[in-house]
Structure 1
């Protein structure tokens, strides 16, 4: 089956957006290797511009918009925070106006960051439907181009640059673990890995209740309609001496505890630390300990 983009487009995205992004480090830990019983290579996207991998896809999409339409009235998106920050950052770099639709319960730290990049912040009800409808209404009124968080090939292609860097540094990986929400990062990484290292398997890591694996195996949609946000502390995937999001922790947990379930078990594994934007005022373990 053919795909709408491949390794060539990912390399083009890297050339297009690379100057606005960090080439993030790949970290290792002997202690975690011993615990996992295999070699682990952590791609530190928590150190990326705007604090998450989302800057890659956003920069690629926004700069394509600027190339295609130099007189563009701007861009608009909807987000739980990380993608919104990324699009706001990319729009600022490209010199384009930007609106970002976020649910009312989005962490304050993410809302503040979006506004600091100069974007207009628009609040909506905390549901996927409300996000999409509010975003579409703004696009209709202003003529701004929607930069979807994941259902956008420009965004997927930009996210694929994560695997481009990772496999350039560790070319003989036999697996990559990717925290999954909408699937844009997983899609970009899977396409890139297939082009660079076909033997490397890509495993999405989902939060409990997402039903992704069951839906794929049954080839039918098993989640509610309309879709709802999951009740999880990993707000970035609701649809060491470092701070990472809980979403990153999902991939770390899978690397340490679940890979023996895979046949054959991979021995050199990339783990995507997808972001580091944490609302320090609402850490769940702090609340549970009665410290707030």
Structure 2
């Protein structure tokens, strides 16, 4: 995994994954614009391969694993579903074995999709700690490389390609709003946007209970230890803690 990343790595990721991910459309709505009192644009990553933006980061990280280690024994990750589907898809494209650790309460439709891509599905307890522990156990037994959902610069760079497409189509944006879970997509978009359009602000949008805004304002880490999942209808944003080691330093420079 890279020690850092910037626009160069984001652009390289875009070239690397071409043909394996969609260039998703950007929509606008007259009625919503009237309600908001401004011009809004929506990047439809729900139409992306595997159903979410996660395919971008997974493809870049898994394809790089294959490039760096042609004899790789495969990849392993932990996920509440979307990243797991994406890594399983990317591993299938790269021809690598794949294991995905998911909490036992993960929606069946996501588990079925992971299996359909040919990955091994491993269940764990529904806690962030259990996810990580089981993933590490598999890594130790098999030698597979961990593709972390967000603490991975290759994943961040791949997800930053969203900003490349968005700013190419709408270059004069003032603000980009990004839903945030662990912070990988926010970091990737922030890094790319900062170099492409320095005057454009990037704001993470958190579900209630995440405590990111309060943590940034107080300049203290208010997340509980061990990390927890929050109770939210946005099941892809259940991770409460933004991983401080990498992601928070990018989020702190957004504004």
Aligned to 2:135: 135
CA distance in 2, matches of 1:24, 1:223: 34
Displacement of 1:219: 1.8
Give the gaps of 5 or more residues in structure 2. 240-255
- After superposition, the CA RMSD in angstroms is 0.8
Aligned ranges 1:240-259 → 2 under 5 Å: none
- TM-score, normalised relative to structure 1: 0.80
Aligned ranges 1:10-49 → 2 under 5 Å: 10-49=10-49
Deviating 4+ runs (over 6 angstroms): none
Aligned ranges 1:183-198 → 2 under 5 Å: 183-198=183-198
Aligned ranges 1:230-241 → 2 under 5 Å: 230-239=230-239
| 2:59 is the alignment partner of 1:67 | no
Instruction: Give the number of aligned pairs.
Output: 237
Displacement of 1:138: 0.1
Give the gaps of 5 or more residues in structure 1. 240-292
Aligned to 1:168: 168
Aligned to 1:81: 81
Displacement of 1:19: 1.4
Displacement of 1:180: 0.2
CA distance in 1, matches of 2:190, 2:18: 20
CA distance in 1, matches of 2:173, 2:121: 40
Aligned to 2:248: none
Displacement of 1:107: 0.5
- Counterpart of 1:96 in 2: which secondary structure? coil
Larger relative contact order (Cα-Cα within 8 Å, sequence gap ≥ 6): 1
Post-superposition CA distance 1:220-245 (Å, at most 9, x none): 11121111110111110011xxxxxx
CA distance in 1, matches of 2:71, 2:226: 36
Displacement of 1:73: 0.2
